[in-house]
Chain A
Amino acid sequence: MNVSELNPASELIEPDYSEFIPAMDRRRMSKVIKMAIACSIDCLKQAGLDQPDGIIVGTSMGCCVHTKNFLDKIIGANDGPLSPTSFIVSTHNTIAGQISLLLKNHGYNITHTQNSLSFEQALMDGILCIQNGYSNVLIGGADEEEDTIYNMKARLNDETIHLTHGASFFILSGKAASPASVNLIDVGSFGLINNPSKIIMRFLDSNNLSSEEIDLVLYANTEHKKTDELKMIFGQKKIFDYQKISGTYYTNSAFAMNYGIDILRLRSHPVFGNSIGKVLVCNNLIPENLGLILIDNKNQLG
């Protein structure tokens, strides 16, 4: 499985949304909502489920295209009559809300918006749900691209980043559904930190693991110094910058987890090698925030 790296001309690979969403619903949906719904429906189908017990979304920018549209409508209306649709579907939780509406789902429904840690917090929330007795939880990370009302390059202090967008969704369950199921071992969300290496070592330690036992580290950061630290901890061959294939958006660690799961299912990779059993997603996209996701393919069914 070889995924080619992005180039400046790369575009989002999208399904035909009309296969997932009726036209009368689709007309009000911005890209992030459509992406999330398509992923969710696909996810449920793969898991053989009609309904999840809960729906949890991590999104940093939410429905920012609609937000911008409504700002434009305010300017254009000039105190005259104002069209409400963009406002109505601009809240961050419209994504999770529209999924529940389409599925007619009455379960737990939460949206986390902690910039680069949004997806990790959604995952942690999902784990709490499973521990509290839910059977299946739909969890995703999604963000759409909107460069006029929010300057991500300035926020990350890096003009070279390639802004993109995407959505990745998962079904988290208390039991392995099949031999293809991958284990979510642990998730951590650490804000306002200054020593990511120390936190990574402590995280591994709390899971009784040494750095040598990690077969692959999928990382994101915008500072070269941090990459050097990762190389020192894990070795040059084991680390891969997932932004080369996902581009940059705040919830791209969800993409990384998806990629990690694909690799764990195959257990090997043409570049990263054979016997891949443990993957760590190391999201240091914002320097003072660190998200860690640990997954492995130790087969629960034996």
Chain B
Amino acid sequence: MRFIDSNLISDMQDLKYELKKQIIQELNLQDIKPEDIIDDAPLFGDGLGLDSIDALELVVLMEKYHGVKILDETVGKKVLASINTMAEYIVEENSKKT
């Protein structure tokens, strides 16, 4: 039986919300609100419609705001797929540091 830590869940919710706000700001998505971005929706291509320049900006965002580096294009493609994958990566990388 696993016990779910409700603190962890709310931390995760906060992190995802922060990410959405940061993405809107850094990518200058003027007409979009955090509520419009769905956690598991694809950020690139059909979903939010981001492109390769946005991908570079997201890499910068991850390092600047969350201290995690994405050094590899293959890793980048997986990590930046959605809000969920971005948040999971941040938590995973930061837990390695503690």
Contact = CB atoms under 8 A, between A and B. Distances in A.
Contact between chain A and chain B defined by CB under 8 Å: yes
Interface residues of B, number: 14
Interface stretch (A83-91, A124-132, A151-159, A183-191): A83-91
Contacts of A83: 26, 57, 60
B31 interface: yes
B27 A81 contact: no
Interface residues of A, number: 12
A81 B59 contact: yes
B53 to A, nearest CB: 6
Nearest to B27: A27
Q: Considering the complex of A and B, which 10 residue pairs feature the smallest CB-CB distances, nearest first?
A: A27-B28, A81-B63, A81-B60, A84-B56, A83-B60, A23-B31, A81-B64, A24-B49, A83-B57, A88-B53
Interface string A9-25: 00000000000000110
Identify whether the interface residues of A are mostly helix, strand, loop, or mixed. loop
B74 interface: no
A80 B63 contact: yes
Nearest to A84: B56
B57 A80 contact: no
A142 to B, nearest CB: 21
A88 B26 CA distance: 15
Nearest to A89: B53
A45 interface: no
B28 A28 contact: yes
A82 interface: yes
28 contacts: A23-B29, A23-B30, A23-B31, A24-B49, A26-B30, A27-B27, A27-B28, A27-B29, A27-B30, A28-B28, A28-B53, A80-B63, A80-B64, A81-B59, A81-B60, A81-B63, A81-B64, A82-B60, A83-B26, A83-B57, A83-B60, A84-B53, A84-B56, A84-B57, A84-B60, A85-B53, A85-B57, A88-B53
Contacts of B49: 24
Contacts of B28: 27-28
Interface string B17-28: 000000000111
A182 B31 CA distance: 41
B43 to A, nearest CB: 13
A80 B61 CA distance: 11
Given A23-B30, A84-B57, A88-B53, 12 more contacts: A23-B31, A24-B49, A26-B30, A27-B28, A27-B29, A81-B63, A81-B64, A82-B60, A83-B57, A84-B56, A84-B60, A85-B57
Contacts of A81: 59-60, 63-64
B63 to A, nearest CB: 4
A88 B53 CA distance: 9
B61 to A, nearest CB: 8
Interface string A64-97: 0000000000000000111111001000000000
Interface string B59-70: 110011000000
Contacts of B26: 83
Nearest to B31: A23
Interface in A21-59: 23-24, 26-28
B5 to A, nearest CB: 31
B89 to A, nearest CB: 16
B24 to A, nearest CB: 10
Contacts of B59: 81
